[in-house]
């Protein structure tokens, strides 16, 4: 009876701690992605050109690239693995929370235009910092953490006009 009681107490302490850890990993990944989206917007304004963040759902990563004219300094990712070529700014989402090999770690779920629901794979920021005039709708990027029976979501919204990025935690993912 004592053993069962001790196991029950340990489980009541460990389970909330484990779910809190997943929230921390999801928030961390969201913050890093939000910071890099803001970086792309800021660089576009600073150098008067275009930068694009391309999402690769298959590899669970994204890349920030100069896609407009000009010759600004090459991008450097301070968290890049050793041997990454200079000027290559690729971020693995799974590596942010330390679960890059786990299928239940933080993953890129997709990106959609907010009003039309059209799927997109990149976000380009122009010289004014927003995604217009090429994209007139806000863009939502979705991250997911956890198993299919108990997923946790994080949505990043990028405004078309200003390029501002914010995060929220919806409880469900919208249907395709």
Query: Domains of the chain (ranges plus CATH)?
Result: 2-168 (3.55.40.10)
Query: What is the four-CA torsion angle of 104, 110, 116, 122, rounded to 10 degrees?
Result: 160
Q: What is the pLDDT of residue 20?
A: 46
Tokens of 32: 């890093």
pLDDT digits (tens, 9 = 90+) for 30-41: 999 999 999 999
Least confident of 119-123, 146-150, 153-157: 146-150
Looking at the predicted structure, is the pLDDT value of residue 117 above 90?
yes
DSSP calls for the chain: -HHHHHHHHHHHHHHHHHHHHHHHHHHHHHHHHHHHHHHHHHHHHHHTS-EEEEEETTTTEEEEEE-SSS-PPPP--TTPPTTPPTT-EEEEHHHHTT-TT-TTS-EEEEEEETTT--B-SEEEE-TTSSSTTT--S-EEEEEEES-TTS-EEEEEEE-TTT--EEEE--SSPPP-
| Confidence class for position 104, pLDDT limits 50, 70, 90 | low
| Res 45 pLDDT > 70 | yes
Q: What is the pLDDT of residues 124-143, one digit of tens each?
A: 999 999 998 889 999 999 99
Q: What percent of the chain has pLDDT over 90?
A: 60
Q: Could you give the angle at the alpha carbon of 75 between the alpha carbons of 106 and 96, nearest 5°?
A: 15
The pLDDT, as a whole number, for residue 9 is 60
Residue pair 21/77 in contact (Cβ under 8 Å)? The answer is: no
């Amino acid at each position: 009876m004592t053993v069962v009681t001790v196991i029950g107490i340990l489980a009541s302490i460990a389970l909330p701690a484990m779910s809190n850890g997943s929230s921390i990993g999801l928030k961390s990944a969201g913050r890093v992605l939000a910071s890099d989206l803001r970086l792309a917007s800021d660089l576009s304004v600073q150098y008067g050109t275009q930068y694009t963040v391309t999402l690769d759902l298959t590899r669970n990563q994204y890349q920030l690239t100069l896609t407009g004219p000009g010759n600004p300094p090459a991008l450097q990712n301070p968290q890049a693995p050793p041997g990454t070529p200079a000027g290559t700014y690729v971020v693995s989402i799974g590596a942010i929370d330390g679960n890059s090999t786990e299928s239940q770690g933080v993953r890129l779920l997709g990106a959609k235009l907010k009003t039309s629901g059209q799927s997109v794979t990149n976000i380009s920021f122009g010289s004014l910092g927003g995604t217009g005039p090429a994209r007139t709708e806000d863009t939502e990027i979705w991250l997911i953490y956890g198993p299919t029976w108990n997923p946790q979501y994080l949505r990043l919204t990028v405004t078309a006009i200003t390029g501002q990025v914010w995060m929220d935690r919806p409880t469900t993912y919208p249907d395709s």
